[in-house]
Amino acid sequence: MARLQYIEDALVQSNDRVNHDTFEIVVNSPQISKVAKPGQFVMVSCAKTGNSPLLRRPISIYDINGENFSLLYKVVGSGTEIMSEMSIGDTVSMLGPLGTGFNIAKTKHHCLIGGGIGIAPLLYLARIIRQSTPDSKITILEGARNSSELLIQDKFQPFGEMLVSTDDGSEGHHGFVSELLDRLSTENMTVYTCGPNPMMEVIAAICRKHNWDCQVSMETHMACGMGACLGCSFLRAGEHEGVEKYVHVCKDGPVFNAEEIWA
Ligand SMILES: Cc1cc2nc3c(=O)[nH]c(=O)nc-3n(C[C@H](O)[C@H](O)[C@H](O)COP(=O)(O)OP(=O)(O)OC[C@H]3O[C@@H](n4cnc5c(N)ncnc54)[C@H](O)[C@@H]3O)c2cc1C
Ligand code: FES
């Protein structure tokens, strides 16, 4: 099926600080908002003057409300710094929605696990799981370095139980978020996760042990976001007909079944 993708001049509705280095921007973008699915992303033009920075930046769809969608982003460099300076009434060019998002499984229990800013694509996923399977159970696990890095816990409250962990023990479980997952005792569960690769690799191994399906949302550097430049190639698990195989995270993903990435 052809994927609908647009370049849309989106009108900034708000751009608010969420914590010391993280912002939520809401934009009016009717075409992208209408077709975007959980786990898909947009390429944001951050060019302020002239063409700099030249390349758009990939950011996941965080939430959708009618003709508006929002992005939750952490300021790490020049592009996200420029995004943080955008004001109500500015226009920003958005390309999207891009990539293959999460596949909502038919299991009775869904576990969503975010590490750091990796929590961003899971809010809209929780909303759509709740809408499409009202009787299913949703557990949300969030891990961060410390309590000031824990994001948006209140937003998940309508969708299910939330447990948090911090590396320094300042809030919730003292340790890694994967340790919370290993404690869940349930049979028929699907896990959806986004965060640092080492975290997702451990989560994939726990899921393999418990026989849970696991979908991982990968992050790589991206230039085009549309499968044209090979900038996002990632070596997938195992050999295929005797040769190593690379995937394009932007087009084949960013969401993959975990066993495609870590065998
Ligand atoms: C599919 C996808 C979805 C994403 N969703 C989100 C999101 O919802 N919220 C969010 O805050 N960020 C998200 N990111 C990461 C975001 O794209 C980068 O943080 C952003 O492009 C950095 O741009 P910059 O110009 O501010 O920083 P740059 O100046 O380009 O880089 C600053 C630093 O960040 C590192 N960096 C940049 N991009 C990446 C990357 N993709 N992976 C790992 N390190 C990187 C650079 O190596 C450098 O050290 C996503 C990335 C991908 C691929
Ligand atoms: S970013 Fe260009 S091929 Fe994926």
If you measure from the C-alpha of residue 191 to the centroid of ligand 1, how many angstroms do you get, rounded to a whole number? 24
Q: Determine the 3-state secondary structure of 173 from DSSP.
A: strand
What range does the domain containing 34 cover? 6-98
In this structure, the answer to whether residues 21 and 51 fall within a common structural domain is yes
Q: What is the CATH number of the domain that holds 70?
A: 2.40.30.10
In this structure, the answer to whether residues 222 and 175 fall within a common structural domain is yes
Cβ neighbours of residue 242 under 8 Å, at least 6 residues apart? none
Q: At 130, list the tokens.
A: 């709740």
In this structure, the answer to whether residues 222 and 195 fall within a common structural domain is yes
Q: Tens-of-pLDDT digits for all 263 residues of the chain?
A: 667 899 999 999 999 999 999 999 999 999 999 999 999 999 999 987 667 788 999 999 999 999 999 999 999 999 999 999 999 999 999 999 999 999 999 999 999 999 999 999 999 999 999 999 999 999 999 999 999 999 989 999 999 999 999 999 999 999 999 999 989 978 889 999 999 999 999 999 999 999 999 999 998 999 999 999 989 998 887 766 666 788 899 999 999 999 999 87
Q: Which of 211, 224, 225, 216 is nearest to 255 (CA)?
A: 216
Of 56, 57, 100, which is best to mutate to test ligand 1, by the most ligand atoms within 8 angstroms of its C-beta?
A: 57
Give the separation between CA 31 and CA 33, rounded to whole angstroms: 5
Q: Where among 75, 98, 121 does a domain terminate?
A: 98
Q: Which residue type occupies 218?
A: M
Q: Which of 262, 200, 204, 197 is nearest to 235 (CA)?
A: 262
Quote the pLDDT of residue 38: 98
How many domains, in total, are found in the chain?
Answer: 2
In this structure, the answer to whether residues 67 and 113 fall within a common structural domain is no
Quote the pLDDT of residue 47: 84
Quote the pLDDT of residue 241: 66
Q: Which residue type occupies 161?
A: E
In this structure, the answer to whether residues 228 and 136 fall within a common structural domain is yes
In this structure, the answer to whether residues 232 and 114 fall within a common structural domain is yes
Q: Does any domain span residue 103?
A: no
In this structure, the answer to whether residues 88 and 141 fall within a common structural domain is no
Give the separation between CA 262 and CA 203, rounded to whole angstroms: 10
Residues with a CB atom less than 6 Å from ligand 2: 222-225, 227-232, 248, 250
Q: Does any domain span residue 104?
A: no
